[in-house]
Structure 1
Amino acid sequence: MPTVKPSITFMHPHCMLAGGATTVLLEVSKRLVLAGWPVHVVSVQSDPAIVREAAAAGVRFVDVGGPLSSSIWFWLQYPLMYWRVHRAARQIGSPVVVSEPFPANWWGWFYKKLNPAVQLVYVCHEPTAFIFEHAWINSIKPDYMRWGLKLLNPIFRQIEFALMPVTDRVVANSQYSERTIAQTFPRLDPARLRLVYCGIDHDTFYPRPHVVRQRQIVMVCTLNKFKRVDTVIRALALLRQQPGCGDVRLLIKGRGVEKDRLQQLATSLQLTDAVDLIDAFYDTTQLANLLCSSQVFVHAAHNEPFGLSPIEAMACGTPAVVTGTGGTAETVTNGVSGLYFNYESDQSLADQLQRLFTDEALWQRLSAGAINHAAQFNWALTHKVFSGVVEEVS
């Protein structure tokens, strides 16, 4: 008789924004269910449109309700919010709990302390950015939340230092993340660290020769300061001054607190008609079509731990221009699948973009290289490695 697999409960902050950690959660949980693992996802809220495919595969979503962690009201009633998560997880009774980004990592640690027999896997894309990364802290809005977090930062750091060692396995999504985790948490047993690269869906993200490439740059990201979208807008202004590049446009797919400021920046640079911000929900097919219709993809974040969007773009044959810092040094190869630029220089980005819009031979070579390079990142491999981690602790 086939072995009955134990159930797994994922703790995730919310499933209200597509992309990033939520994409990883949905793809991994869906494949675990299809492989015979009963999977529940406990979070505050879920958007039915975002979780629809995973739910149809058999992933059970349990929303405890309440404000999102981006709201001050979440933190004012944190004990109640944690109790809701704890109660939901206890009712499910999974022997394996997988905690995801902050504040779900705290949920997992507290749950482990109260239920020592549970095996805890922490998917740590990076040490909690809102605690350890100054760029993220400085991007928080409104101002009172940013200053409140700065005031409480020493306490939050000590909580993370104290609780991280209770984790049975810590999953990093890049070698960069793995090193950063080890450096940030020296008390963590390095034998508990596992590297699991994220993948993409190659049945959705692939070249579409029938889609006409427009003379446009595309970005797919959350609109916050860490993503450095303002750098790309300023670089566009420089690029459009160069011969043969005056018609290049920028499409930004995403939503976030920086939207108004970015629109004001575009207006001040007389780029109102050259910059489009798209904050509507796109399914994966719509997103793939957007990537295939663009000539260049830009990812401007500095030291981001991984980043799925550059890989999705490359799989569509769209060269990626990135900083070459953090995880992008592993996901994009300079001169093969894309180009690197100096993250501190708008002109450096404009120069690399000009090369791709004026040198057809270079674009064709990098487009072919991007497709080949992206092929190594796939969800089947991610599932194989991640399920192996779960089996270790089951």
Structure 2
Amino acid sequence: MASQTPGTGAQSQTVQPGRIAAISLHTSPLDQPGTGDAGGMNVYIVEVAKRLAERGIAVDIFTRATSFEQPPEVELAPGVTVRNIAAGPYGTLDKTALINYLCPFVHGMLRAEAEHLGGSYDLVHTHYWLSGQAGWPVAREWGVPLVHSMHTMARVKNMSLAEGDTPEPEERVRGEDALVALADRLIANTDDEAAQLINYYGASPSRVSTVFPGVDLTTFTPGSRAESLRRLGLPEDTILLLFVGRVQRLKAPDVLLRAAARLLELNPSLRDRLVVAVVGGQSGTGYREPRLLSDLADSLGIADLVRLEPPCPRAELVHYYRAATVTVVPSHSESFGLVAVESQACGTPVVAARVGGLPTAVRDGVSGVLIDGHDPHDYANVLHRMITEPRWRERMGAAGIHHASGLSWESTVDGLLAAYRDALHQCRLTVPCR
């Protein structure tokens, strides 16, 4: 149950949650980030849950079961339990279909809570709009606050669609509108996202908390570039341009390939040393275009330079970051840009689109370069300078390490706990919760 610590002033006590229900309906925290629907949000949920548990706050993460072989409960870490709820047919479902299985998912959550001997939950934190749709009736049934993180927003994505991409459905827009009205607290990843919640969704500023995501500073650290290149089977003089993330038009890996082709037009002598690595799997609209990048590489005449690699664990991913000359994040929409921060933590500068949370994730002109738009020529010009001016690149790499050091998951949890306490305090004043 909620614990209390002494306070000052009219409110003599500050409420702290003892047990939290986190909801990630459409993607499991146990999935490998970088493919399907697993990405930065999965990393966020796992890292936050672990650190909350280290502070004595139990976290149960509810997600939809995708196989009959999955056990109902999986211990992710001490104090963190993943609960697989049967809702709809097993197997991977398109996100647009999941709205049809909210009722069995909600029922499964209520049943799991009723059967559990560990006590009731003090707060519900939902991630992404589908989870929010499942979370608000559960939070009201339990009489606890609903905290919601959008992670991405339909209106924002639809304003910056890549060519050939599919707009988010109106059903999602309406669902997000409802969550903004229903949630006791909205968590924004950046000040930019907070402004979008207020300006595009009419959120009350008093219910929006900005909490920067973090990076695992024990895993993503500087290291020997030469050693990492050897581990990847690449010569020490390799110029490695790196993309990490889900392969879909929204993330724009095609911009990197087009920029690499333009780079060779600017400086043909680079060809013998240039490698373009795309680390990630198909996702979203990418499933409909499984050969998008390979066909593009062929048409650009750079197929021999492009390595399409599957998603990999963090212990292996760190070597890609360390080996890279530069990491490129050309997304059309990005709520934060975890890849950019991971790269900087390893000492590798970033070239990224000036969208969403990337101006927070990257210090423009200091730890990387932000580019307006998605013209491959603009990216190629900056990449050429990165390659041909190593001292400039190295200064940015050093600055990136410093910048990333201020974005720890511990700081993220500090901010979340402050938001949780505010939500719990308001809930006590307005019982039952809104």
For 1:373 and 1:164, the matched residues in 2 are separated by 32
1:63 to 64, 84, 88: 84
Question: Following the alignment from structure 1 to structure 2, what is the Cα–Cα distance between the partners of residues 129 and 263?
Answer: 31
Q: 1:82 to 1:129 in 2, by over 3 A?
A: farther
Given residue 124 of structure 2, which amino acid in structure 1 is its aligned partner? Answer: V
Tell me the equivalent position of 1:241: 265
Equivalents in 2 of 1:138, 1:241: separation in Å? 27
Contact 1:30 1:54 in 2 (8 A): no
Residue 83, structure 1, aligned to residue 131, structure 2: no
| Corresponding residue number in structure 2 for 1:230 | 254
Contact 2:160 2:332 in 1 (8 A): no
1:306-385 equivalence runs, <5 A = 306-385=336-415
One-letter amino acid of the structure 2 residue matched with residue 228 of structure 1: A
Q: Using the alignment, how far apart are the partners of 2:314 and 2:114 within structure 1?
A: 34
In 2: Cα distance, 1:193 partner to 1:171 partner: 6
| Structure 2 equivalent of residue 200 of structure 1 | 215
Q: C-alpha displacement at 1:6, in angstroms? A: 2.3
Greater mean deviation of Cα atoms: 374-383 or 157-166: 157-166
Q: Distance in 2 between matches of 1:28 and 1:339?
A: 29
Verify the 8 A CA contact 2:274 2:305 in the aligned structure 1.
Answer: yes
CA deviations on 1:52-105 (whole Å, 9 max, x unpaired) are 997133301101134445266534544334433454455553120000013112
Match status 1:261 vs 2:277: no
Give unpaired runs (5+ residues) of structure 2: 5-15, 34-38, 230-235, 425-434
Give the distance between the partners of 1:175 and 1:137, measured in 2 at CA: 27
Structure 1 window deviating more from structure 2 (121-130 vs 93-102): it is 121-130
Is 2:128 aligned against 1:101? Answer: yes
- Asked if structure 2 preserves the Cα contact closer than 8 Å seen for 1:123 and 1:171, the reply is yes
Please say if 1:285 is aligned against 2:315.
Answer: yes
Cα separation, 1, equivalents of 2:186 and 2:180: 9
**TM-score, normalisation: structure 2:** 0.80
Distance (Å, rounded) in 1 between the aligned partners of 2:299 and 2:201: 44
**What's the C-alpha RMSD, in Å, of the aligned pairs?**
2.8
CA–CA distance in structure 1, aligned partners of residues 400 and 248 of structure 2 = 27
CA distance in 1, matches of 2:45, 2:300: 39
Structure 1 gaps of 5+ residues are 141-145
| 8 Å Cα contact 1:122-1:169 kept in structure 2 | yes
The 8 Å contact of residues 27 and 54 in structure 1, kept in 2 or not, is answered as no
| Distance in 2 (alpha carbons) for counterparts of 1:89 and 1:262 | 45
Helix, strand or coil at the partner of 1:103: helix
Q: Where does residue 191 of structure 2 map in the other structure?
A: 175
- Give the one of 232, 237, 240 matched to 1:216: 240
Deviation digits for residues 102-151 of structure 1 (CA, Å, limit 9, x no counterpart):
31121122333x427221110222324698556289635xxxxx7xx64x
Range 129-138 or range 292-301, more displaced: 129-138
Secondary structure of 2:255's counterpart equals helix
**Contact kept in structure 2, 1:42 and 1:89, CA below 8 Å:** no
CA contact (8 A) 1:296 1:321 kept: yes
Q: Quote the Cα distance in structure 2 between the aligned partners of 1:46 and 1:386.
A: 29
CA distance in 1, matches of 2:352, 2:157: 25
Any idea what SS the aligned residue of 1:42 has? strand
Tell me, in whole angstroms, the C-alpha distance in 2 between the residues paired with 1:111 and 1:169.
Answer: 16
Helix, strand or coil: the match of 1:377? Answer: coil
Larger Rg: 2
Deviations 1:224-260 (CA, angstroms, capped at 9, x unpaired): 1111111111111111223242231110111112442
Stretches (4+) displaced over 6 A: none
The one-letter amino acid paired with 2:165 is S
Residues 134/292 of structure 1: CA separation in 2 closer, same or farther (3 Å cut): closer
- Is this contact kept in 1: 2:99–2:130, CA < 8 A? no
Look up the match of 1:21.
41
243-252 or 370-379, which deviates more? 243-252
Partner SS state of residue 52, structure 2 = helix
Provide the identity percentage: 23
